[in-house]
Amino acid sequence: MKKVPSSSPDLTNENIKKLKELFPEILTDGEQIDFDKLKTILGEEVEGEKERYSFNWYGKKNAILGAQTPSKGTLRPDKDKSKNFDTTENLYIEGDNLEVLKLLQKSYSNKIKMIYIDPPYNTGKDFVYKDNFRDGVENYLEQTGQTDNEGNKISTNSESNGRYHTDWINMIYPRLKLARNLLADDGVIFISIDDAEQSRLKSICDEIFGEQNFISNFIWYGGRKNDSKYISNSHEYVLMYFKNSEKIKSNNIVWREKKKGLNEIYSKATELYNKHGELEGSKLLKEWFKQNKNNLDIYSNNHYSNVDQSGPYFKADLSWPGGGGPTYEVKHPITNKNVKKPSRGWLFKEERLKELIKQDRIFFGLTEDNVPTLKKYLNETEYQVLISVIYNDNRGSMKRLRKLMNNKSYFDFPKDENVIKRLLNIVPMEKEDIVLDFFSGSATTAHATIQLNAEDGGNRRFIMVQLPELLDEKSEAYKDGYRTICDIGEERIRRAGELVKQELIEKNAKTGMLADDIVDPEQLDIGFKVLKLDKSNIREWNSDFEDLEDNLFAYEDVFVEGRSELDVVYEIMLKNGLELTYNVNQFQHEGKNVYDIAYGNLFVCLADNIDVSVAQIIVEKRNENGTDTSSVVLKDAGFKNDSDKLNVIELLKDSGYPEENILTI
């Protein structure tokens, strides 16, 4: 019977296993890798000793190893801080994102469709977490004041520090390396940054994601600033990388965003056509576009300034590109005379043009002296390629967040939820894809996800990760009762969710429940499950001889004192690679708690006096769920004796459980 693993996946061992599977001949007698033989097998693909460009810095080796060092931590559920704990598909994780990303590797590998992060910009005032790759969880608990009575001062990366840029690179590199593993093959990552580290971040991402997967370096213009000595630096950057651009190409995945201002244009065009008809309505529509020059969403579509019963359209050229097109005769529908032909010939063959005339897709002038044009409707071209410059005044987002939080400004420069929503909107997502932000801050990404789901009926799920950085006792947020950045972020999600839901209810009341695109407010997931990074729930054996007697006494119970069964269940879910939003159903059998996870996918019993009746009820529940594959985890010290343990194992095996699916903890 196997034991539940004591740590997150060892990525180094995983990579070695893959190499062994691909090239078994590279193994030595001692089961080590013969790198000279591997080079020989790879032949000309191996880089020689020639000089070549590479991106190096002090500490790079440790940064790489840091991403591969397994975590001994766990994520403990906090029902009190959660909203709709038992039903929500969203996660909010409090903890150092390096450790959290390691813990998520097995459950969320290749499952995240989009990552957006807004990491510290290294301005000299930003919080920079001091990683300790030897014991990341202990280091995290110390630095967040959870294990040190005196507390530890949160550090900043001052410009006077001799390794100012190096420290920042060493912080971001292992996190991005782990994040790449979580991205789906057709996934995408967006990273906000400014001039301080943009060039270095680009080099890091080229190395981790591959230069061939670089897509764009967006310019995010956020409004003019007057706080610079020489030039108003009014923009930031958003780097965009695919995980695998070849996957995007081979699947013919199209990236487009819906044009803005469409509803206003359609409404006005319909109103003018109904009142004035096609000719006069088109004249008035042109005037209306001119009046909206300052509204870029509307005015950018001003060429659709004609209108008929099918909506606004523009008059497209009907001539053959480059010349040499067909030159047949076409009759004017009113004068019945041949119209003027395009000098380069018609764009279509005669039969096709006749079809378009019948469909009222051809615009004829008042007389035959005008060359006809093709009506191209706005509703046929609602989507466009996203341009690399994003215009968005950040002051709007600050005002909205302030209003949401009772007119309090807890964050100086929160990201705009409308811009994040725009990025979300261009990613071709299935309805239940996952969005990850592991520098969550003010939880803008969560807000944007809920908002977009309300608009298009999607069920995108989010995972927010944030270090519970302690707030300054003099800050406004602290005086209002918040103690960490996480407290504010979680409250922002609560309020944003309720606001979005209420706005949706009001919108539906105006639209009417018969509308085709109605979104049910009750189906909108505005909850989130809070999990907290902590040391493992399972005691770690201390082999120090002087401590042996205490250890033997302590190991009467394998679990850390003060931990609940639910804490252990979630650690088992992590170690078994199950998503942390899966349904957890607790039921009792003869006074013992049994946990059914994901409708029979996993059963856990951590009680004492485990016997064959526990195995029997597990088999019954599995059969009720109709689950083909299932695993069972039982407390190793929970059996009365070895005989009961063997009987339980045999009953489970006889009921179809493979031995490798029966584990103890």
Q: Are 437 and 446 in contact (CB under 8 A)?
A: yes
CB atoms near residue 171 (< 10 Å): 22
Q: Are 584 and 556 in contact (CB under 8 A)?
A: no
Q: What is the CA radius of gyration of the chain?
A: 31
Residue among 210, 175, 89 nearest 598 (CA): 89
Q: Are 528 and 493 in contact (CB under 8 A)?
A: yes
CA 467 – CA 157 distance, rounded (Å): 16
**pLDDT confidence of residue 548:** 41
Which H or E run includes 390?
strand 389-391
Domain boundaries, the chain: 2-52, 73-256+394-531, 262-384, 538-664
**pLDDT confidence of residue 432:** 86
CA 570 – CA 581 distance, rounded (Å): 10
Q: Name the DSSP class of 4.
A: P
**pLDDT confidence of residue 44:** 55
Q: Tokens 């410009």 map to which residue?
A: 159
pLDDT along the chain (665 residues), means of 10: 71 75 68 70 60 80 89 96 98 97 97 96 61 64 59 52 77 96 97 91 95 94 70 87 91 82 94 96 96 90 96 96 94 96 95 96 94 96 87 83 91 89 89 94 97 94 97 94 96 97 91 68 97 92 46 63 96 95 96 96 96 96 89 93 94 94 92
Structural tokens at position 639: 């059996």
Burial of 266 (0-12, 13-18, 19+ CB in 10 A): middle
Structural tokens at position 341: 């032909």
**pLDDT confidence of residue 510:** 81
Q: Name the DSSP class of 654.
A: H
Q: Name the DSSP class of 639.
A: B
Structural tokens at position 19: 């190499």
Quick one: CA dihedral 352, 356, 357, 358, positive or negative? positive
Q: Are 532 and 75 in contact (CB under 8 A)?
A: yes
What's the CA angle centered on 190, arms 188 and 191, to 5 degrees? 145
Q: Are 140 and 43 in contact (CB under 8 A)?
A: no
Q: Tokens 């958003």 map to which residue?
A: 238
**What CATH code is assigned to 73-256+394-531?**
3.40.50.150
Q: Are 112 and 181 in contact (CB under 8 A)?
A: no
CA 94 – CA 466 distance, rounded (Å): 5
DSSP string, 180-224: HHHEEEEEEEEEEE-TTTHHHHHHHHHHHH-GGGEEEEEEEE---
State the first-to-last Cα distance of the chain, in angstroms, to the nearest integer: 10
Which residue type, as a one-letter code, is found at position 14? E
Q: Name the DSSP class of 379.
A: G
CA 318 – CA 542 distance, rounded (Å): 83
